[in-house]
Amino acid sequence: MPHTVEWNIRLYLFEDEGTTKARVVLDTGTTQLTGHGVAHCNPADRDVPEIGDELAAGRAMNDLAQQLVNTAKRDIEGMGASGPSPHPVVGWPT
């Protein structure tokens, strides 16, 4: 049975005095999740805003990804099944 959906993601970046904050919002149409990330520029380092943006955004997306995995785990367990393996099997079986 084919299944196609579209989820919308918005990423917001804010910078203030060497600190970059990111907020990423996932809207599935029925649920919204928000991830957060922060990056601090070391005062001894050259200020390169793009690096702070990358770090803060990556951390916010990582936070969001973990929330999605936790939500899926709860949904799986709510159906009476065991949750996903914490260490997915990759490669050849040994």
Domain enclosing residue 56, as ranges? 8-71
CATH number at residue 32: 3.30.160.240
Whether 2 is in a domain gets the answer no
Q: Which residues of the chain have pLDDT under 70?
A: 81-94
Q: Are 45 and 67 in contact (CB under 8 A)?
A: no
Q: Evaluate whether residue 91 is within a structural domain.
A: no
pTM over 0.85: no
DSSP letter for 48, please.
-
pLDDT of residue 47: 83
Answer yes or no: is 92 within a domain.
no
CB-based contacts of 45, cutoff 8 Å, min separation 6: none
Phi, psi for residue 5 in degrees, rounded to 5: -135, 160
Q: How many structural domains is the chain composed of? A: 1
For residue 12, the model assigns a pLDDT of 98
Q: Give the pLDDT confidence score for residue 5 in this predicted structure.
A: 95
Asked if 34 and 23 touch (Cβ cutoff 8 Å), the reply is yes
| Position 36 in a domain | yes
- Which tokens hold the place of 83? 């949750």
